[in-house]
Amino acid sequence: MSSKSSARGSATEKKSAKDFSKSPIRASKEVLDRICGRAHYLTTQMIWLANNREKDKGDPKIGGHPAACASSLHITGALHLIVKSGFDYIANKPHAAPVDHSYNYLLKLMLKNAATSGTHDFASHGPDFLGQDLSRLSQDDMDKAMEGLRKFSKDGEPVFQSYHSAYDSDHHGFLPSGTVGIPPVNAGYLAHAYRFAKDHGYDVPDAHFWSIIGDSEFREGSLHEAIPDFAERELGNLTWIVDYNRQSLDGHRITNKEIMNGTDDKRIERTLLANGWDVIQVQHGHKRLELFKRAGGEVFKNFLENGLQDYELQSLLLVKDMASLRKGLMKSHPDLKSFLSGITDQELYWGLRDLGGHDIITMANAMLQSKENPRKPTMIIAHTLKGWGLENAAASGNHSSLPDQDEVDALRRAQNLSFDQGGKLADGRYFEGFDSKTEEGKYLALRGDELYSDIKSQYALRDKNWKSFQDRMQKNGEIPVAMGISLKMAQYPHTQWMLGQLTAKLTRIANAAPDAAKPEELPWRVPSELFVTMAPDVGTSTNLNPAMDGKIFGAAVTTDIETELGVKDRKLPDLVPGEENSDRFIRFEIAESNVMSCVGSYGKIREFIGIPILPLMTVYDFFIKRAHDQFFYNLYWKSSFICVGTPAGVTLSPEGAQHGWKSDFQIPNQITWEPFFCQELDWIMSESIRRHMTGDNAGRTGVIIRGVTRGAEQKAFLQNLKRQLRFKSDRSRLLHATGFEMPGAVDEAQVESLSEEEMFEVVRQDVLAGAYYLVDYRGYAGYEPGDNVVNIFALGSLTTEALKASDALLRRGIFANVIVVTSTDLLLGVQAHENDYSLLKERLQLNANLHLVPAAYTNGQGNGHGAVELAMVAGRRVPCVSVHDGEPGLMDNIGSALGVRQEALAVRKHSKCGRPNEIYAYHHLDSESIVEACGKVLSETALEQVQIAPHVLAALQQQPEAAQVEKVDWRTLWPERPSDTH
């Protein structure tokens, strides 16, 4: 029963001191330091410029973080100048973005990146991430970008966002940043996704994944949630680096050394070691190492490593007068006397300041060492100085402090730039790299070209992979509109059950022998092979068993001991992990944030290396909000993924009353779905898969699907569609509902309807457009908009209540149409706003027309006497009621989008246990509440009165009868200003 050994070798493989004779360190420390010095100036200058730009009174501050940039100057330098390849990815702390830009400026790695007409023949049908222009920016444009930090790009000129962003011309190989604590986790799951893709035989470049993390950032829980996970998954291709400068935004970090058994770097070290990581401390630079060799040097070393509190070191760094520093130290630490007597003031100065994180060679060696063990991630603790090289070095509160012009000028003069002769700037220039003839220039050109060549290779590989998957899919036939799950035998199935059916089918197709595949299943072959599922310990309870059973992808750490002992329960999924090709389920502990980051990172593989892996996570909907920040990040990053929140809302009341508040978000690039019938889910999933696989999902790559565990009578779908006039073969007849005879009308049941296939094809398109009529009384005798018509919008499970309410209202002579909303985003969200609510207004043909009926005449004083001056009519629009299991804001703007009276029934209080019918009543979402709300809006709209002056009436009477009001675009009444056109 020994553990299986991994393909990646032994976990205990030592990161031994390496022979660096073939080291990638190909420039001297002096040359590298001079390059770092230039990057330091460029960084500080660009932040200064950003803050000294024209602005309006009252504008918010611009800011920037020169001190935090300086602190990571040599860490990032080691990556850019020595260690990283152009295939690697880096998640750097957000506020250090200007340093990355500065190195990329020196390496000339700013690329156009704009989507162009395409350098390949499939761009016209491909996704928006293909066809980038990879040519390098001109020197002029690079200078503009450097001058444009935090500036709005008016005419498309290159600028830089405040933090790493896909809008930057040097974004290749960088994860976007802004929220601390999230990108390093994405870097880890990206490392895992590459591992997965490689293990499944896809063409993936060798890449390493790096993160630079602030020491205060390292208290973020999101990081600690991921730490054990990354170790257990054996991510030898991941290195995290803590920029340990002992300061945060507010000032010096004051930790509890006594209780925590040492300074915070020791706690970090112990935490990571306890969680299976390798740890490398980079505490001292070369100068310190030399000092340690002097008499008493060991005592000094011990003092630095164990004697000092972090806060004490920070305070000592602020003492400028070396004589008093020496005196004070001798007094407080008498054991240092002999060492201190043997060193100069200058040596004392450096003795405190020569921190390892600013020694580019030491840093590079640590990074190279971190790549050695293929089975363990590594944490490097890089000791640094916040504000290195700046006057505000180590000063508490230096996080946002900005150097003044004199300081920046001094930094520039120290660089001897060609345009800065005699302290005067020529041609308004601020930036310059190294002359190509200098050692620095030559090295930067060599290194920049190498990285550029890697970047181009990666894009070429991406395009090649993408094309080969598209070709394979085309050969197998177009992805069908449905997976064709039979519902005939299922008793009251629910959408969560349906999810299980769909994922089980994909799993079966993915793993069937190629020759055993049924021809109609062939188009699903590629998507199913690329379909990866994952869940935070709710895989079985969200019906993913077949996708899990014997298919857990993970380090092969154990044999199947239950089987060996003969105690395996075959009814439960086999959870022993492995790295077989059929292993495609990523199992997690209860760690929603990890899974959300993982689904986001897997969802980027399509864009990074052209392999359209489609990740799907399930999660109890309530807990999506625990990973809200990660979810937002995925959407900002334009990751392409599916997140199924199931079960959702107060509908899960008997099981989880405390989990009843659904996670309703409206974020750009998100599309939410909430199917009611199982068939809808099949269409939605099939469509989402097709869009992802073919890259046809720009602006909606983050898919959220809500499922429930409340069963529904599936027959009701067709039964209700059949009653609609639009689905009758003879549409010239006036209909009445069975049991509601009307003169001149025929019982709808007597008029034949179209075939199931024909009806479903129309409704499928409606479902995918975001809403459809389930009950539609248009074409029924007595249907009088403005008198007896109301529209009920129902989302998900509450459709049952809407149907009951509609029946009850019909008995009272009210025609209540039931419109089932499948996607609130398409009906009312960002996507709907983009097309001016065309789903509501055009597809569903809803409007705010005022239907007039005569009312009492009055003389204008309201007493009914005297000369008749005004005509009174009652004006009525068709009002609506919405009902959904979620926050009111999700659907309460239908009325304002349409211009009609609306009553929104939604969840407005914390929930309780109970059966759905009790709970719906408790929240006023039940059928009776819907009837009541319909009554309210119908009555209120009936009270609307319109006063028409008799001369207007007379004028109206003279209008030709056929005159119709043309549909007018609002722009004709409110013409565009010239500036709006930009």
Q: Which residues bind ligand TPP (CB under 6 A)?
A: 68, 71, 93-95, 179-181, 214-217, 243, 245, 247-249, 386, 399
What span, in angstroms and rounded, lies between the C-alpha atoms of 348 and 683? 72
Question: To the nearest whole angstrom, how small is the minimum distance from the Cβ of residue 625 to ligand TPP?
Answer: 16
> Are 734 and 744 spatial neighbours (Cβ–Cβ below 8 Å)?
yes
Q: Which is nearer to ligand TPP, 243 or 454 (CB)?
A: 243
Q: Calculate the alpha carbon distances from 626 to 320, 595, 621, 710 in Å.
A: 47, 11, 10, 24
Q: Which is nearer to ligand TPP, 376 or 386 (CB)?
A: 386
Q: Which is nearer to ligand TPP, 241 or 704 (CB)?
A: 241
Q: Which is nearer to ligand TPP, 485 or 596 (CB)?
A: 596
Question: To the nearest whole angstrom, how small is the minimum distance from the Cβ of residue 247 to ligand TPP?
Answer: 5
What span, in angstroms and rounded, lies between the C-alpha atoms of 460 and 623? 39
Q: Name residue 192's amino acid.
A: H
Question: To the nearest whole angstrom, how small is the minimum distance from the Cβ of residue 636 to ligand TPP?
Answer: 14
Q: Which is nearer to ligand TPP, 214 or 829 (CB)?
A: 214
Question: To the nearest whole angstrom, how small is the minimum distance from the Cβ of residue 357 to ligand TPP?
Answer: 11
Buried-exposed string 704-723: b where 16+ CB fall within 10 A, e elsewhere = bbbbbbbbbebeebbebbbb
Sign, CA dihedral 146-152-158-163, equals positive
**Neighbouring residues of 831: CB distance < 8 A, sequence distance ≥ 6:** 671, 699, 700, 825
Q: Which is nearer to ligand TPP, 208 or 246 (CB)?
A: 246
Q: Which is nearer to ligand TPP, 249 or 274 (CB)?
A: 249
> Are 622 and 662 spatial neighbours (Cβ–Cβ below 8 Å)?
yes
Question: To the nearest whole angstrom, how small is the minimum distance from the Cβ of residue 217 to ligand TPP?
Answer: 3
Question: To the nearest whole angstrom, how small is the minimum distance from the Cβ of residue 268 to ligand TPP?
Answer: 12
Residues β-bridged to residue 136: 111
Omega cis (within 30) before 493: no
Q: Which is nearer to ligand TPP, 96 or 532 (CB)?
A: 96
Question: To the nearest whole angstrom, how small is the minimum distance from the Cβ of residue 214 to ligand TPP?
Answer: 2
Question: To the nearest whole angstrom, how small is the minimum distance from the Cβ of residue 182 to ligand TPP?
Answer: 8
Q: Name residue 731's amino acid.
A: R
**Neighbouring residues of 712: CB distance < 8 A, sequence distance ≥ 6:** 492, 493, 494, 676, 677, 797, 799, 800
**Neighbouring residues of 638: CB distance < 8 A, sequence distance ≥ 6:** 129, 166, 607, 669, 701
Question: To the nearest whole angstrom, how small is the minimum distance from the Cβ of residue 67 to ligand TPP?
Answer: 7
Report the alpha-carbon angle 222-227-232, nearest 5: 140
Q: Which is nearer to ligand TPP, 382 or 535 (CB)?
A: 382
Pairing of strands 945-948, 871-876: antiparallel
Q: Which is nearer to ligand TPP, 318 or 414 (CB)?
A: 318
Q: Which is nearer to ligand TPP, 188 or 214 (CB)?
A: 214
Q: How crowded is the C-beta side of 190, counted as CA atoms within 13 Å?
A: 33
Question: To the nearest whole angstrom, how small is the minimum distance from the Cβ of residue 90 to ligand TPP?
Answer: 15
Mapped onto helix, strand or coil, the DSSP state of residue 173 is coil
Q: Which residue is nearest to ligand TPP (CB)?
A: 214
Q: Calculate the alpha carbon distances from 70 to 96, 149, 538 in Å.
A: 8, 17, 44
What span, in angstroms and rounded, lies between the C-alpha atoms of 155 and 320? 48
Question: To the nearest whole angstrom, how small is the minimum distance from the Cβ of residue 589 to ligand TPP?
Answer: 23
Q: Which is nearer to ligand TPP, 66 or 612 (CB)?
A: 66
Q: Which is nearer to ligand TPP, 50 or 325 (CB)?
A: 50
Q: Which is nearer to ligand TPP, 77 or 645 (CB)?
A: 77
What span, in angstroms and rounded, lies between the C-alpha atoms of 631 and 597? 7
Question: To the nearest whole angstrom, how small is the minimum distance from the Cβ of residue 265 to ligand TPP?
Answer: 12
What span, in angstroms and rounded, lies between the C-alpha atoms of 282 and 90? 19
What span, in angstroms and rounded, lies between the C-alpha atoms of 363 and 72? 11
Report the alpha-carbon angle 823-829-832, nearest 5: 85
Question: To the nearest whole angstrom, how small is the minimum distance from the Cβ of residue 384 to ligand TPP?
Answer: 8
What backbone phi and psi angles, to 5 degrees, belong to 239?
-130, 125
Question: To the nearest whole angstrom, how small is the minimum distance from the Cβ of residue 158 to ligand TPP?
Answer: 24
> Are 48 and 402 spatial neighbours (Cβ–Cβ below 8 Å)?
yes
Question: To the nearest whole angstrom, how small is the minimum distance from the Cβ of residue 216 to ligand TPP?
Answer: 3
Q: Which is nearer to ligand TPP, 68 or 279 (CB)?
A: 68
> Are 729 and 751 spatial neighbours (Cβ–Cβ below 8 Å)?
yes
Residue 256 neighbours by CB distance under 10 Å: 10
Q: Which is nearer to ligand TPP, 224 or 472 (CB)?
A: 224
Reduced 3-state DSSP string for 680-729: HHHHHHHHHHHHHHHCCCCCCCEEEEECCCCCCCCHHHHHHHHCCHHHEC
Question: To the nearest whole angstrom, how small is the minimum distance from the Cβ of residue 224 to ligand TPP?
Answer: 14
Question: What token pair was written down for 700?
Answer: 């909606």
**Neighbouring residues of 390: CB distance < 8 A, sequence distance ≥ 6:** 44, 66, 67, 70, 398, 403, 407
Q: Kindly report the length of the chain.
A: 982
Question: To the nearest whole angstrom, how small is the minimum distance from the Cβ of residue 393 to ligand TPP?
Answer: 13
Q: Which is nearer to ligand TPP, 399 or 662 (CB)?
A: 399
